[in-house]
Amino acid sequence: MATIKVHGNFFSTATLRVLASLNEKSLDYEFVPVDLRSGEHKKDPFLSLNPFGQIPAFQDGYLNLFESRAVTRYIAHSYAGDGIPLVSSDAKKAAVEDVWAEVEAQRYEPPAAKLTWELGIKPVLGMATDDDVVKAQEAELAKVLDVYEARLAHSKYLGGDAFSLADLHHLPTLKYLMASPVKAVFEARPHVAAWVADIMARPSWQKVLAC
């Protein structure tokens, strides 16, 4: 029986972020679907797993965690010897990877999440896309990707020579954005485009998409 449980759903970018890291490590886990439509995530017993009422929630034996990027960091460190390394064992290299993981969370995620909502999720829920928001957020994303383009011109991955959490954390929003008109913003920047193609082709990510 798997000691690891992930409570979430397959539309949720945060849930997919955790699943991607588990797959990179070749770890077994039990997936527990959470019914957002009925508000399951805002009630007990789910609230005892994440008091902010958000998915995913994560369990490894008696350890209970939430916040997807804390979970991926826990998986990267606690299972360092399993599967693919997701964090460098060199402190300085790990720090540089962490810089770009922060960039993902602080700079990339805000426009990426809003665009994912407008172009990826709203249509599925039968809601109308707000074109003004899309236009504004696309402009924000372009500014961030200009910095990425400069970075990736001399670094194979965002964090350095090796694939790390700094890259992995982008995969769930990329899933939606590269299937939308916003993919043009990525494709217009050759180093960014190559990096996107590389990380999205990873077998561990393909396995998440097949769930």
Partner 1 sequence: MVVKVYGATYAACPQRVMACLFELGFQFDLIKIDLQSGEQKQPQNLLRQPFGQVPSIEDGDFKLFESRAIIRYYAGKSASQGGTNLLGETLEERALVEQWMEVEVNNYNPLIYTMVLQLVVLPQQGQVGDMELVKDCKGKLEKVLDVYEERLSKSKYLGGERFTIADLTHLPNTRFLMEEGGMEDLIKRRKNLHNWWLDISSRPSWLKVMDLPK
**Site membership for partner 1, residue 67 (CB under 8 A):** yes
Q: How far apart are the first and last CA of the chain?
A: 19
With respect to partner 1, which residue has the nearer C-beta, 148 or 202? Answer: 148
CB of 193 to partner 1, least distance (A): 19
Other C-beta atoms lying within 10 Å of the C-beta of residue 153: 11
Looking up tokens 């939606």, which residue turns up?
Answer: 176
Q: Which residues lie below 8 Å from residue 108, measured CB to CB, with a gap of 6+?
A: 141, 144, 148, 170, 173
Token pair listed for 7: 């409570």
| Contact window for partner 1 (CB under 8 A) among 69-77, 116-124, 129-137, 200-208 | 69-77
Check binding of 107 to partner 1 (CB under 8 A): yes
DSSP 21-56: HHHHTT---EEEE--TTTTGGGSTTGGGT-TT--S-
Number of residues counted as binding partner 1 (CB under 8 A): 30
Question: Nearest approach, Cβ of 58 to partner 1 (angstroms)?
Answer: 9
181 neighbors 138 (Cβ within 8 angstroms): no
Q: Using the minimum distance from each CB to partner 1, give the nearer residue, 59 or 202.
A: 59
Tell me which stretch binds partner 1 (CB under 8 A): 22-30, 86-94, 172-180, 197-205: 86-94
Which residues 6+ apart lie within 8 Å of 145 measured at CB? 185, 186, 189, 192
**Interface residue with partner 1, options 30, 35, 82, 102 (CB under 8 A):** 102
Q: Cis check for the bond before 45: say yes or no (omega within 30 of 0).
A: yes
Contact status: 3 vs partner 1 (CB under 8 A) = no
Residue 62 CB, nearest approach to partner 1 (Å)? 9
Task: Kindly state whether residue 140 participates in binding partner 1, applying the rule CB under 8 A.
Answer: no
Interface residues toward partner 1, by CB under 8 A? 51-52, 63, 65-70, 73-74, 77-78, 91-92, 94-96, 98-99, 101-103, 105-107, 144, 147, 150-151
